[in-house]
Amino acid sequence: MNKKVEKSLILITDFLTVNLAWIVFFYLRVETGWFDLISQPDFLLPMFAVYLYWLVIFTFVGMYRTWFALSRFDELSTLFKASFVGIFILFFLILLDDYRSGTATSVRFYIFFYWGIFLVFVSIGRLFIRSIQRRFLIKGIGRRNALIVGFNNKANEIHTTILNHRALGLDIVGYIGLNKNDLGKDFKSVSVIDVANNLESIIDQYNVKNIIISIERHHEDSLLEVISKCEGKNVEIKIVPDLYDIISGQARTSQIYGVPLIDIMPELMPEWEKKLKRLMDIILSFLLIIVTFPIIFVAAIAIKLESKGPIFYRQERMGMNGKIFRILKFRTMIQDAEKHSGPVWSTKDDPRITKIGGLLRKIRVDEIPQVYNVLKGDMSFVGPRPERPFFVEKLSLEIPLYKRRLKVRPGITGWAQVKHKYDETIDDVKVKLRYDLFYIENISLRMDFKIIFRTIFVVLFGKGHFE
């Protein structure tokens, strides 16, 4: 099923069931007829206000993420937890209103009766939509192609499980061998179609959306290579874990009908934190554009008076999931600085930097226009620095997992920028990559605030680098 259609159906279903729960609750409480109920002025506005309230909560906890063959029990569990928090927020708001008005009634406890009605209706609506979606998957609508990397008993076991449960929506189109000796082998009429070295082209050729890695312990050196070849591709990756990994607690596992699998997670930030991070980016970028307008005006005049060329410098960068966007900065170099040299990194004492440009870089004013990129959604305030496509492709060939940086929205500042210096050599890039991967694996609002405070320190004392 198309992602947009899926989300539209869920939004419509939630709209109907959330509001229906409100109607039934209101009806039972006031004991009146349907037409009298709808005509009451204090009915419709509160109903839509309550719907918007739940829409915000559901969005923040990730209940509108793309669903694909996941457990319906897990979805109902998420609904229960989200509604539990939402109901208690409403309860304390009512309690606060009673306290301010000086009234103390038991009416506020009716909200828990509404909670029960709400859970029943929204659960039924969600289960109805998910059941339809599962039927579509079983009938062949909206299914996804999958590859199994590795050919062994564990790989055959997971293949059999997928064949026996069509509701998973996965079609195994082939095996990927670890060496040429695996070519020609087959299981359940599905053969080893190629080796791991050609994985990138196979993903594109077969429109693969899911990859299941089943590598035996003596082949674990191939794991990094396989994962790095999947970077930059829109695929979900799962690993069939070794039994030792499971019992030692080293693996975070999910399961497909009892078969344990490790999720390869590009980012660990909960959905509500991601939404809040984006909301903060929008608010802060909008405020900064207003507050820094006098600085922008003065800097623009200074750049124009010193040298020929545009005030702003636009350059293609690669953002989240490989999306190309044009980063906006104050021009701090001479016009057409890379006309004869081609794409090169800037250095600390780069001769191409103008006098005004050097000053702007020193006090970090050259970065201010990037706030516009943050407002648009191309960037965030905190994240790995966006690199040019030329260097991304070049470095991804030399450094395994370099493209994993593309799994999060790039930032104006980041952990690598406050911990390391200029990118002058390939070794600097490798060091910064370790910092970027550390940030991705530990991404959180707490981490973002820590980086922002360190950035303020860097700006005040003139250390660090943001390019």
Question: Between vectors from CA 17 to CA 14 and to CA 20, what angle results, nearest 5°?
Answer: 140
Provide mean pLDDT across the span 87-110: 74
Query: Which phi and psi angles does 354 have, rounded to 5°?
Result: -75, 170
Provide mean pLDDT across the span 261-277: 71
Give me the percent of the chain exceeding a pLDDT of 90. Answer: 12
Provide mean pLDDT across the span 209-226: 76
* Domain annotation for the chain: domains and CATH numbers: 3-138 (no CATH), 144-263 (3.40.50.720), 271-461 (no CATH)
At 145, is the pLDDT very low, low, confident or very high (cuts 50, 70, 90)? very high
Provide mean pLDDT across the span 410-436: 77
Provide mean pLDDT across the span 256-262: 58
Residue 340 clears pLDDT 60, i.e. is over it: no
Residue 198 CA: distances (Å) to CA of 178, 185, 194, 229? 10, 17, 7, 9
At 378, is the pLDDT very low, low, confident or very high (cuts 50, 70, 90)? very high
Instruction: Supply the mean pLDDT for the chain.
Output: 79
| Higher local confidence (pLDDT), 250 or 270 | 270
Q: Which residues contact 82 (CB under 8 A, 6 or more apart)?
A: 57, 58, 61, 63
CA torsion through residues 244, 247, 253, 255, sign: positive
Q: What is the structure's pLDDT at 376? A: 92
| Higher local confidence (pLDDT), 39 or 315 | 315
Q: What tokens appear for 197 in the block?
A: 């070295």
Q: What is the structure's pLDDT at 315? A: 87
Distance CA 356, CA 313 (A): 14
Could you write out the three-class secondary structure of 118-187? Answer: HHHHHHHHHHHHHHHHHHHHHCCCCCEEEEEECCCHHHHHHHHHHHHCHHHCEEEEEEEECCHHHCCCEE
Q: What is the structure's pLDDT at 317? A: 92
Residue 374 clears pLDDT 90, i.e. is over it: yes
* 298 closest CA partner among 327, 335, 326, 330: 330
Distance CA 466, CA 412 (A): 7
Residue 324 clears pLDDT 90, i.e. is over it: yes
Q: Say what the pTM is.
A: 0.56
CA torsion through residues 141, 147, 151, 155, sign: negative
Q: Which residues contact 244 (CB under 8 A, 6 or more apart)?
A: 250
| Higher local confidence (pLDDT), 363 or 48 | 48
At 395, is the pLDDT very low, low, confident or very high (cuts 50, 70, 90)? confident
At 282, is the pLDDT very low, low, confident or very high (cuts 50, 70, 90)? very high
Q: How many CA atoms lie within 13 A of 58 on its CB side?
A: 21
Provide mean pLDDT across the span 223-246: 71
Q: What is the structure's pLDDT at 246? A: 41
Provide mean pLDDT across the span 415-438: 75
Provide mean pLDDT across the span 427-431: 76
Residue 343 clears pLDDT 50, i.e. is over it: yes
Distance CA 139, CA 374 (A): 43
Q: What is the structure's pLDDT at 344? A: 58
* 202 closest CA partner among 178, 174, 170: 174
Q: How many CA atoms lie within 13 A of 350 on its CB side?
A: 22
Question: Between vectors from CA 437 to CA 433 and to CA 440, what angle results, nearest 5°?
Answer: 140
Q: What is the structure's pLDDT at 266? A: 47
Distance CA 357, CA 331 (A): 7
Q: Which residues contact 75 (CB under 8 A, 6 or more apart)?
A: 63, 67, 126, 130
CA torsion through residues 89, 92, 98, 101, sign: negative
Determine contact, residues 132/82, Cβ cutoff 8 Å. no
CA torsion through residues 130, 136, 141, 143, sign: positive
Please name the residue that has the structure tokens 């939004």.
Answer: 11
Q: What is the structure's pLDDT at 248? A: 39
Determine contact, residues 422/347, Cβ cutoff 8 Å. yes
pLDDT digits (tens, 9 = 90+) for 68-90: 556 677 788 888 888 998 888 88
* 408 closest CA partner among 376, 439, 449, 432: 439
Q: Which residues contact 306 (CB under 8 A, 6 or more apart)?
A: 354, 355, 356
Give me the percent of the chain exceeding a pLDDT of 70. Answer: 78
Provide mean pLDDT across the span 369-387: 92
Determine contact, residues 292/367, Cβ cutoff 8 Å. no
Distance CA 169, CA 162 (A): 8
Residue 243 clears pLDDT 50, i.e. is over it: no
Query: Which phi and psi angles does 125 have, rounded to 5°?
Result: -60, -45
| Higher local confidence (pLDDT), 122 or 407 | 122
